[in-house]
Structure 1
Amino acid sequence: MAVDRERVSALVRDLLVAIGEDPDRPGLRMSPQRVADLYADEFFAGLGEDAAAPLRRTISVVHGPAPDTTPSGAVLLRDIRFRSVCEHHLLPFAGRAHIAYLPGEQVVGLGALPKVVDILAARPQVQERLGEQIADTIAGALDCRGVLVVMDAVHQCVTMRGGRQPDAATVTIAARGALADPAARAELIALIGREGA
Structure 2
Amino acid sequence: MAVDRERIALLVRDLLEAIGEDPDRPGLTQTPSRVADAYAEFFSGVGQDAAEPLQHTISVSRGPAPETSPSGAVMLRDILFRSTCEHHLLPFRGRAHIAYLPGERVVGLGALPKVVDVLAARPQVQERLGEQIADTIDHALAPRGVLVILDASHECVTMRGGRQPVATTVTVAARGEYVEPAARAELVALIGPGGA
TM over 0.5: yes
Tell me the distance in 2 between the aligned counterparts of 1:123 and 1:143: 25
Tell me the residue number matched to 2:10: 10
Q: Deviations over 1:130-149 (max 9, x none)?
A: 00000000000103111000
Q: Please give the alpha-carbon distance, in whole angstroms, between the structure 2 residues aligned to 1:37 and 1:76.
A: 34
Aligned length: 194
Distance 2:192 2:93 in 1: 18
Deviating above 6 A after TM superposition, structure 1's stretches of 4 or more consecutive aligned residues are none
Where 2:144 maps in the other structure, the secondary structure is strand
Partner of 2:186: 187
Moved more, 2-11 or 113-122: 2-11
Q: Which residue of 2 aligns with 1:150?
A: 149
CA deviation after TM superposition for structure 1 residue 163, in Å: 1.1
Matched residue, 1:27: 27
Q: Which runs of 5+ in 1 are unaligned?
A: none
Structure 2: segments with no counterpart, 5+ residues:
none
Aligned-partner Cα distance in 2 for 1:194–1:17: 46
AA aligned to 2:4 is D
* One-letter amino acid of the structure 1 residue matched with residue 6 of structure 2: E
Query: Quick one: which amino acid aligns to residue 12 of structure 1?
Result: V
Determine the C-alpha separation between the residues in 1 that align with 2:35 and 2:141. Answer: 36
CA drift at 1:194 = 5.4
Cross-structure match for 1:164: 163
- Between the aligned partners of 1:124 and 1:143, the Cα distance in structure 2 is 27
**What SS does the aligned partner of 1:118 have?**
helix
Partner of 1:44: 43
TM-score normalised according to structure 2 size: 0.97
Residue by residue, what CA displacement relative to the aligned partner does 1:65-93 show, whole Å, maximum 9, x if unpaired?
Answer: 11111011100000000000000110000
Would the alpha carbon gap of residues 99 and 25 (structure 1) be closer, same or farther in structure 2, given more than 3 Å must change? same
**Given the alignment of the two structures, is residue 129 of structure 1 paired with residue 128 of structure 2, yes or no?**
yes
**Equivalence for 2:97:** 98
Share of identical aligned residues, percent?
A: 78
